[in-house]
Amino acid sequence: MENLQTAGVVFRDIWKAKKRISGIIEKTPLLYSQPLSDRAGANVYLKLENMQPTGAFKLRGAANKILSLTEEEKKKGVATFSTGNHGIAVAHVAGANHIPATVCISRRVPQEKVKKLKRLGAHVEIVGDNQDDAEQYCYELEKQSGITVIKPFDDLEVIAGQGTIGLEILEACPEVDQVIIPLSGGGLLAGISLAMKATDPGIDITGVSMEKGAVMHESLKHGKPVVLKESDTLADSLLGGLGPDNRYTFSMVKHLMDQSVLVSEAVIAKGIMFMLEYHKMAIEGAAGAGIGWLLGEESNRYENIVIIISGNNVDHETIRSLTDKY
Ligand SMILES: *Cc1c(COP(=O)(O)O)cnc(C)c1O
């Protein structure tokens, strides 16, 4: 059999991750969506990662990375510069395992987020005026004190952790022939598609990004990671760059993804509202993007479609503004 081109991450890593993280993550439901199936003319299932204890799939990758550290490394502690779903996941896993966690953030991060991270037991370091300053400080800490920076996507163990979603999908729906995955740094897509393609290379992998700042999409077009200007989007969890030293995800996404599609803010809003109206769940923009895209497709050639509902980190204000408009 031809080898999968996966920059050194192998299918076995995902099985190891499944064993390592089983005590801390939820095995999430794969919900059959009748209203979406009716519209798409196919069986459509929703993989509900919004039901993880932290509200997003990032728990899987963070848990796999942190639990794979040596005792020595665990004692020195972990750090992250993310204030979003990844930062929450790192704080949660570290807290549950009595490992010190430091979150480096800029002065501009809202108090609400700071409070949430502190409640999870993290030590919050406020440095500089923007996210880049915070990131730089985080890596300085690593050099000085031997703390381990837990990267949000470009790490073998993180990718393998996200890949455990793929194993659960295959177990619940072995007939799956298309997986629709929100795409930013590509850890989620790389992990799931490795599990899918190792099982059957014919399973279609579709990556969904927002029109505003689709960094992986543009990077693939240019043949290397590019930097884009960030703008406001409902899919705020999909913002951010790939990093100039990207080791795994750019190459894996390039070789494993079948198509990359872009969605407008209105399409993302439709996805969020569909989930609220028909399944009574509030999800964030990144998670609604795939539903919105599928709703807009006139025809499709797949019979068993899975959409990854990646997270629920959305505030009341955002939902309210959408219910007024849509
Ligand atoms: C991080 C995140 C994504 C994208 O994951 P990548 O591994 O960066 O591609 C999608 N949805 C949510 C809710 C996220 O937090």
pLDDT per residue as tens digits for the range 286-307: 999 999 999 999 888 999 999 9
pLDDT tens digits, 169-196: 999 999 999 999 999 999 999 999 999 9
Residue whose CA is at the smallest distance from ligand 1 atom 2: 237
87 within 8 A of 55, measured Cβ to Cβ: no
Ligand 1 centroid, distance to 188 Cα (angstroms)? 6
Residue 49 three-state SS: helix
What count of residues does the chain have?
A: 326
Report CA(176)–ligand 1 centroid distance (Å): 22
Q: Can you tell me whether residue 15 is helix, strand or coil? A: helix
Residues whose CB falls within 8 Å of the CB of residue 71, separated by 6 or more in sequence, listed in order: none
Residue that is written with structure tokens 């969890």 in the block: 237
Question: Is 250 a pocket residue for ligand 1 (Cβ < 6 Å)?
Answer: no
Q: Judge whether 2-56+155-325 and 59-149 match in fold.
A: yes
Q: How far is the CA of 181 from the centre of ligand 1 (A)?
A: 9
For domain 2-56+155-325, the CATH architecture is: 3-Layer(aba) Sandwich (3.40)
Where are the chain's structural domains?
2-56+155-325, 59-149
158 CA → ligand 1 middle, Å: 12
Q: Which of 15-24, 113-122, 161-170, 172-181 has the lowest mean pLDDT?
A: 113-122
The CATH class given to the 59-149 domain equals alpha beta
Give the least confident one: 93-97, 123-127, 157-161: 123-127
- Return d(Cα 172, Cα 178) in angstroms, integer: 14
Identify the bridge partners of residue 102 per DSSP, sorted by sequence position.
Answer: 79, 123
Joined tokens for residue 151: 């990267």
Ligand 1 binding pocket includes 153 (Cβ within 6 Å): yes
Mean pLDDT, to the nearest integer, of 120-141? 90
Among protein residues, the one with the nearest Cα to ligand 1's atom 4 is 184
pTM to 2 decimal places: 0.96
Tell me the CA distances in angstroms from 192 to 47, 91, 119, 157, 160, one per residue in order. 12, 24, 31, 13, 8
**Whose CA is closest to atom 14 on ligand 1?**
237
